[in-house]
Amino acid sequence: MARIGDLLAAKRTLSFEFFPPKTNQARLTLGKTVGDLEALEPDFVSITYGAGGSDRHRTGDVVGWMRDETTLEPMAHLTCQGHTRTEVASLLVDYRKRGVANILALGGDAPADGTAGKSDYTYALDLLHDVAASQSFSIGVAAHPEVHPRSESRAADRRHLADKMRLADFAITQFFFEVEHYERLVDEMAALGIDKPIVPGIMPITNKAQISRMAEMSGAALPTWLVDRLGYVDDPVHVRRLGIELASKLCNDLIAAGAPGLHIYTLNRSATAKEIVANLELATV
Ligand SMILES: NC(=O)C1=CN([C@@H]2O[C@H](COP(=O)(O)OP(=O)(O)OC[C@H]3O[C@@H](n4cnc5c(N)ncnc54)[C@H](O)[C@@H]3O)[C@@H](O)[C@H]2O)C=CC1
Ligand SMILES: Nc1nc(=O)c2c([nH]1)NC[C@@H]1CN(c3ccc(C(=O)N[C@@H](CCC(=O)O)C(=O)O)cc3)CN21
């Protein structure tokens, strides 16, 4: 059982993110993906919770399965939207019993069907207080290089992140496409006295429609040069090849910029993540 805060203190980490599968077919795909990616010996993996506003209750099952049946160190995402403090307390007890050492404490997307449910929490910080009080987990929070879409200003976004990072051990970022966004975020947090690890999250482009949808949801801009380059490719094979080239370059730029780790969003597929890792110019250890 490893705490991610300790791992980050010891080395540059490599990690992958998955979402809980909804169907039997998707479960088989995730099983194969996890088997493939285990061979790369990532330092940890994370499992989303209610991503995009759906399927909130499968995270624990996937995390428990990983704990019991694989060599991977799982981190469970937990969002505060629609949760009571009692529910969170019992979830945390379950995670502790199952040997889960890491939690990503998030605000969360509104449920897709509009049914929010009773919520004792408004912001990730409120949830973070309860997770920290349990004294059982290494805790991560979300950071938004291009500012969270709900933030009233850039300065307020950074202040809220600083408040979270004073309690948490590390942050993982929303995806972005230019290293300068990451460097600026790290500088702005340093100016607020925060020097805990901020691990960049990398979303490889594999599908044009999907990346536009996700960028809109997350506040990440698709830069003009990227839109232009995507404009020249239509064949899905070529889109994927370009996506791997760009994500590999971004990862190498991030390593050069001193990133404490790389967290790759896999969307439950292994081939793209494997190719990117093979393209890294520096060992991640
Ligand atoms: N479901 C999942 O597994 C994952 C979800 N995400 C998404 O990323 C985002 C994560 O949000 P977080 O940064 O954790 O949420 P947060 O609650 O920290 O912040 C959400 C927004 O509220 C603002 N805010 C925070 N505290 C405030 C306060 N006291 N007063 C006024 N405004 C305040 C922030 O600046 C930000 O704009 C969500 O959209 C989430 O769904 C990201 C990674 C994984
Ligand atoms: N606002 C926001 N919410 C998130 O949940 C989130 C972010 N941003 N940014 C970083 C990652 C990306 N995440 C994602 C992104 C997409 C899917 C997704 O599309 N899931 C679908 C299946 C898609 C597919 O099969 O291609 C699902 O069924 O859950 C899941 C998690 C989770 N994270």
Q: Which of 70, 45, 38 has the alpha carbon at shortest distance from 59?
A: 45
Whether 127 and 90 have beta carbons less than 8 Å apart is answered as no
| Best of 106, 189, 198, 267 for a ligand 1 pocket test (most atoms within 8 Å of beta carbon) | 106
Q: For residue 18, give the ligand nearest its CA.
A: 2
Cβ atoms of 202 and 251 within 8 Å: the answer is yes
Q: What is the DSSP letter of 14?
A: E
Residue 172 lies in a domain: yes
Asked if residue 272 has its Cβ within 6 Å of ligand 2, the reply is: no
Query: Residue 255 sits in which domain range?
Result: 4-278
- Ligand 2 atom showing the smallest separation from residue 265 Cα: 12
Going from the Cα of 19 to the center of ligand 2, the distance in angstroms, rounded, reads: 7
Whether 284 is in a domain gets the answer: no
Identify how many contiguous H helices and E strands the chain contains and give both numbers. Answer: 11, 9
Evaluate whether residue 144 is within a structural domain. yes
Give the CATH number, domain containing residue 185: 3.20.20.220
78, part of any domain = yes
Domain count of the fold of the chain = 1
- Ligand 1 pocket, residues with Cβ under 6 angstroms: 48-51, 77, 79, 106-109, 123-125, 142, 148, 150-151, 156-157, 160, 164
Look at residues 124, 127, 40, 125 and name the one whose alpha carbon lies nearest to residue 88: 127
Let me know if 17 is a catalytic residue: yes
In terms of Cα–Cα distance, which of 23, 28, 4 is closest to 14?
4
Whether residue 99 lies inside any domain: the answer is yes
Q: What is the pLDDT along the chain (285 residues), one digit of tens a residue?
A: 899 999 999 999 999 999 999 999 999 999 999 999 999 999 999 999 987 655 567 899 999 999 999 999 999 999 998 889 999 999 999 999 999 999 999 998 776 666 666 789 999 999 999 999 999 999 999 999 999 988 999 999 999 999 999 999 999 999 999 999 999 999 999 999 999 999 999 999 999 999 999 998 888 889 999 999 999 999 999 999 999 999 999 999 999 999 999 999 999 999 999 999 999 987 544
Residue 233 falls within a domain, yes or no?
A: yes
- Kindly state whether residue 283 falls inside one of the protein's structural domains: no
